[in-house]
Structure 1
Amino acid sequence: MLDANLKGQLKTYLENLRQPIELVASLDDGPKSRELLELLEDIAAQSDKVSVVRKDDDARKPSFAIVRPGTDISVRFAGLPLGHEFTSLVLTLLWVGGHPPKVEADVIEQVKALEGDFQFETYFSLSCQNCPDVVQALNLMSVINPRIRHVSIDGALFQAEVEQRQIMAVPTVMLNGEAFGQGRMSLEQILAKIDVGALAREAEKIKTKDAFDVLVIGGGPAGAAAAIYAARKGIRTGLAAERFGGQVLDTMAIENFISVPHTEGPKLATGLEQHVKDYDVDVMNLQKAAKLIPARTPGDLIGVELENGAVLKSRTVILSTGARWRQMNVPGEDEYRNKGVAYCPHCDGPLFKGKRVAVIGGGNSGVEAAIDLAGIVAHVTLVEFDSQLRADAVLQRKLASLPNVRIVTSALTTEVKGDGSKVNGLVYKDRNTGEVHNVDLEGVFVQIGLVPNTEWLKDSVALTPRGEIEVDYRGGTSIPGVFAAGDATTTPYKQIVIAMGEGAKASLSAFDYLIRQPAPQEANEPADIGQAAA
């Protein structure tokens, strides 16, 4: 099952086991069960602290539990955790075997202190780059607190269960049999949802923070670069982000980041976060900005009010809030989100195996999505508003060569149809003839570009009609002391490498601004900010 290279790596990792573990298998006579047994035996062969036990007592077959004998610690996988989930498997083996996780001590204590019984189930796909974060977070929680139980389920392998529970997006998390969440979630995000009072405690903690010299809003490539460049100047730096990594977390293959021939979004995001934490940066994750409070007079502090009510203060602010997937804004899109309407073909594509889907958008993203999906689904209908596709010629040639793809141009999508629980059709209008067409299908993948995350700034800094922050050649905005960088700005070409450069430039501009300003009036800061916020 595992090649020699993987076995060698696994053997090295398993040397970190501190306590024996058992791999308790529940199998049937199918080929996947045979593959799983081979995988478990390969794992056990790499360490004398690992043994395989067969019980066949779980309803899901094939599945296996990783157990620490003599304790209540147990984590279960239903399916073969390979692909993106192989890392989840290795980490879980180590954690159950007593190897300490790389998690802040206060987070571990928060998990230990949770009261109640929690039975989590996570549906994943092996091609999903968002799923490992969720699987690993819940596995770790179940190791730390035995009253938490978690089973990860390969949706492609347990199709009947996926159909019965109407799972149409991954990762999908169930808690005690009820829907809990969908999409990428970090350990901290999961804790915030189940730990009553956690958000209020965090808000009170933030309110006590001293003013920053540079406050970065946003944790994507631009925000990370800005924070690093500021911290290297030896000035007090803070970074508040709704989710560290931003849209990079939702990006699969990255092949145009100079000097790195190939990487994946989650891996790059992890590197960004680690690099930021190597410096003296106060990182405040899971914090969404709600309002920018400009300085009342030159030399006063700028305020950023968070959604939880806390106000951060700083001498300068760098806005790097990025962008998100653009929606079609047609009837049925919101109603059937994650019920057939999807935005990540890599993540959710395997759930539509053998079904009919549409891809909305004829740019590179849309055509790449259609090509990927064509190898999984029964049929793809690509719908493009323009009279021709806008993707690179090489991609168009590949798409045209696929027998199960239909290309429709000059088409305006007008409605996503469904039966109340899931998508069953799409309606579009021919822009040349006005004729309306209905397409029977089970999935709609939207790939029509990005919209900047700047709604909270509309009454403060100057924005374009498209919502982009207007910046000058130094990254300056319409407000003195407020700079901006990345996909949320008017800077052309929304690319990771450009966002990083713009983040560094904005940070250098903020530092240049600071050294030319008088020291702030400390005695008046809290009152001024509070009055402005009110």
Structure 2
Amino acid sequence: MLDANLKSQLKAYLEKVTQPFEIVASLDDGAKSQELLGLLEEISSLSDKITLHSDGQDARTPSFAINRPGEETGVVFAGIPMGHEFTSLVLALLQVGGHPPKTSAELLDQIKALDGEMLFETYYSLSCQNCPDVVQALNLMAIFNPNVRHVAIDGALFQDEVESREIMSVPSIYLNGKPFDQGRMTLEQILAKVDTGAAERDAKKLNEKAAFDTLVIGGGPAGAAAAIYSARKGINTGIAAERFGGQVADTMGIENFISVSHTEGPKLVSALEEHVKDYEVDVMNLQLATAFKAAEAEGGLHEVTFESGATLKSKTLVLATGARWREMNVPGEQQYRNKGVAYCPHCDGPLFKGKRVAVIGGGNSGVEAAIDLAGIVGHVTLVEFMGEMRADAVLQKKLKSLPNVDIILNAQTTEVTGDGSRVNGLNYKDRTSDESKSIALEGIFVQIGLVPNTEWLKGSPIEMTPRGEIIVDAHGMTSVPGVFAAGDVTTVPYKQIIIAMGEGAKASLGAFDYLIRN
């Protein structure tokens, strides 16, 4: 299963292992078990510190555990972790083998201090770019705390479990048999949820911080660029974000980031975070801004309050809170969110194998989603509000060539229907005839653009458009002196990663110029 280049890279990684460990496989007579066995034999042949056993007794087959001799670490993979999960497998091998993780001592101490037995189960898909963050975080918790066990389960391979638990979105996490959470989560987010005192401790630390020269709110491309440019000026810089990376972390393929022909969102986010940490930037994760108070006089301190209860002060601010997927806002959408209504075709598409789905939206994102899904699901219906699709011509041509795709134009979605537990259809109005129609479906993927994350600024003196975008001048400054904004949250047109980065740098330079003049 591993080509020569990958084997060579993996062998080099495994040389970092400092202590022996065992791979214990649970197999049956099926083809997938033989495929997994072949992979594990290849891996074990690359290091004399690995021993492979194929006599495991786990009820899930094929699966395997990675243990130290005489000690169960609690790390189990049910399925064949290739695709995006191959990195999770490599990290698990290294960490069980004694290679230290790139995690702060503070977080490791927090993991070790967790009390109570915890069995986590994560359902993932091999094409999900958000799943590895969850799998790797929970594996790390299992390795460093004997009370924690984690099983990473390929949902496409264990369809019976997916059906019985009515899982329609990945990653889906269970704790001790009960739903724990869904979607991308960092190690910090998971720990904050299981360690009930963490938020209060973090809020106390933040409240004790001195005022910043420049405080960046948001950790996407605009926020990261702003923090780097600010720190390079040698001023006291902080960045507070709900999650580092923002919308980019949910992006699959990136092919228009100049000088990099192809990359993926999570890789770019990791690179951004590492670049920020090269400088003296105070990075504060898991901080969702909820309120803003402008300085009482020019040259005073602005204040931002967060959901945790913390308040930070700064002489200047750069607001880079980005945007999120726009929702349809029709009856049934929220009721069936993650129960058939989805927003990430790459993540959740494999869960709809052989089924009928719809894609809402005829722009580039919608058409690309429909093309990708057509190779997985049974049938795709693309639903577009306007009389023509807005996607690039080359994408439209590809979509129309696919045999299992229908396109409905001039269609206004009016309702998502379901049986109480999952989606079973979509109602829409034909805008040319006003006739109401319906489609029988098992999944709906919404791809209709973005909405800025500015609800927390409503009622503030910061001027915004009716759509909620922050109005900025040529220097990135808002209507409030000393407060700047950048990226998808602003009125700057063309919501692109490379534009957001440039705007973040510009806003930071504007903030620095404001500081030295005031």
TM-score band, normalised by shorter chain:
over 0.9
**One-letter identity of the residue aligned with 2:365:** S
CA distance in 2 between counterparts of 1:172 and 1:506 reads 38
> Aligned-pair distance for 1:161?
1.0
CA distance in 2 between counterparts of 1:300 and 1:2 reads 60
Q: Any conservation in 1 of the 2:357–2:445 contact (CA below 8 Å)?
A: yes
1:388 corresponds to: 388
Q: Any conservation in 1 of the 2:24–2:66 contact (CA below 8 Å)?
A: yes
> Aligned-pair distance for 1:299?
2.0
> In the TM superposition, what whole-angstrom CA distance separates every residue of 1:144-184 from its partner, at most 9, and x where no partner exists?
00110000000000111110111100000000000001000
1:491 corresponds to: 492
1:462 corresponds to: 463
> In the TM superposition, what whole-angstrom CA distance separates every residue of 1:302-355 from its partner, at most 9, and x where no partner exists?
111111221101000000000000000000000000000000000000000000
TM-score (normalised: structure 2) = 0.99
> Aligned-pair distance for 1:516?
0.8
1:199 corresponds to: 199
2:502 corresponds to: 501
CA distance in 1 between counterparts of 2:3 and 2:430 reads 52
1:301 corresponds to: 301
1:511 has 2:480 as partner: no
> Aligned-pair distance for 1:88?
0.3
Which is further off, 446-455 or 52-61? 52-61
2:424 corresponds to: 424
CA distance in 2 between counterparts of 1:308 and 1:76 reads 34
**One-letter identity of the residue aligned with 1:32:** K
**One-letter identity of the residue aligned with 1:495:** Q
> Structure 1 stretches (4+) deviating beyond 6 angstroms?
none
1:167 has 2:191 as partner: no
CA distance in 2 between counterparts of 1:297 and 1:371 reads 54
CA distance in 2 between counterparts of 1:216 and 1:471 reads 16
**One-letter identity of the residue aligned with 1:468:** E
1:274 corresponds to: 274
**One-letter identity of the residue aligned with 1:174:** Y
SS in 2 for 1:487: helix
**One-letter identity of the residue aligned with 1:491:** V
Q: Any conservation in 2 of the 1:388–1:409 contact (CA below 8 Å)?
A: yes
1:526 corresponds to: none
SS in 1 for 2:71: coil
**One-letter identity of the residue aligned with 2:516:** I
SS in 2 for 1:174: strand
> Aligned-pair distance for 1:298?
1.8
**One-letter identity of the residue aligned with 1:486:** G
> In the TM superposition, what whole-angstrom CA distance separates every residue of 1:55-106 from its partner, at most 9, and x where no partner exists?
2411110000001112232310000000000000000000111111010000
CA distance in 2 between counterparts of 1:309 and 1:269 reads 27
Q: Any conservation in 2 of the 1:248–1:266 contact (CA below 8 Å)?
A: yes
SS in 2 for 1:73: strand
Q: How does 1:213-362 map to 2 (within 5 A)?
A: 213-362=213-362
CA distance in 2 between counterparts of 1:157 and 1:193 reads 29
Q: Any conservation in 2 of the 1:232–1:279 contact (CA below 8 Å)?
A: yes
Q: Any conservation in 2 of the 1:218–1:242 contact (CA below 8 Å)?
A: yes
CA separation of 1:56 and 1:105: change in aligned 2, threshold 3 A: closer
CA distance in 2 between counterparts of 1:320 and 1:124 reads 30
CA distance in 2 between counterparts of 1:476 and 1:396 reads 39
**One-letter identity of the residue aligned with 1:474:** H
> In the TM superposition, what whole-angstrom CA distance separates every residue of 1:447-506 from its partner, at most 9, and x where no partner exists?
000000001112121010000000011101000000000000000000000000000000
CA distance in 1 between counterparts of 2:473 and 2:382 reads 38
> Aligned-pair distance for 1:54?
1.4
> In the TM superposition, what whole-angstrom CA distance separates every residue of 1:261-310 from its partner, at most 9, and x where no partner exists?
00000000000000001000000001011111101012211111111221
1:435 corresponds to: 435
1:530 corresponds to: none
CA distance in 1 between counterparts of 2:252 and 2:52 reads 34
CA distance in 1 between counterparts of 2:59 and 2:352 reads 24
5+ residue gaps, structure 2, are none
Q: How does 1:85-124 map to 2 (within 5 A)?
A: 85-124=85-124
Q: Any conservation in 2 of the 1:68–1:74 contact (CA below 8 Å)?
A: no
**One-letter identity of the residue aligned with 2:399:** L
1:31 has 2:27 as partner: no
Q: Any conservation in 2 of the 1:415–1:426 contact (CA below 8 Å)?
A: yes
2:399 corresponds to: 399
1:521 corresponds to: none
Which is further off, 157-166 or 65-74? 65-74
**One-letter identity of the residue aligned with 2:496:** Q
Q: Any conservation in 2 of the 1:123–1:152 contact (CA below 8 Å)?
A: yes
1:143 corresponds to: 143
1:84 corresponds to: 84
CA distance in 1 between counterparts of 2:242 and 2:249 reads 12
CA distance in 1 between counterparts of 2:105 and 2:209 reads 20
**One-letter identity of the residue aligned with 1:211:** A
CA distance in 1 between counterparts of 2:417 and 2:155 reads 24
| Overall identity of the aligned pairs, in % | 72
Q: Any conservation in 2 of the 1:74–1:96 contact (CA below 8 Å)?
A: no
1:69 has 2:66 as partner: no
SS in 2 for 1:199: helix
CA distance in 2 between counterparts of 1:158 and 1:304 reads 46
CA distance in 1 between counterparts of 2:290 and 2:441 reads 39
Q: Any conservation in 2 of the 1:28–1:56 contact (CA below 8 Å)?
A: no
- Cα RMSD (Å) of the superposition? 0.6
**One-letter identity of the residue aligned with 1:487:** D
SS in 2 for 1:151: strand
The number of aligned residues is: 517
CA distance in 2 between counterparts of 1:475 and 1:279 reads 23
Q: Any conservation in 1 of the 2:74–2:148 contact (CA below 8 Å)?
A: no
> Aligned-pair distance for 1:401?
0.5
Q: Any conservation in 2 of the 1:374–1:404 contact (CA below 8 Å)?
A: yes
2:129 corresponds to: 129
SS in 2 for 1:190: helix
CA distance in 2 between counterparts of 1:404 and 1:196 reads 48
CA distance in 2 between counterparts of 1:486 and 1:38 reads 47
Q: Any conservation in 1 of the 2:73–2:143 contact (CA below 8 Å)?
A: yes
SS in 2 for 1:122: strand
CA distance in 2 between counterparts of 1:426 and 1:505 reads 44
**One-letter identity of the residue aligned with 1:27:** L
SS in 2 for 1:314: strand
1:379 corresponds to: 379
CA distance in 1 between counterparts of 2:241 and 2:186 reads 13
> In the TM superposition, what whole-angstrom CA distance separates every residue of 1:424-464 from its partner, at most 9, and x where no partner exists?
01000101101111111100000000000001112121010
**One-letter identity of the residue aligned with 2:499:** I
**One-letter identity of the residue aligned with 1:126:** L
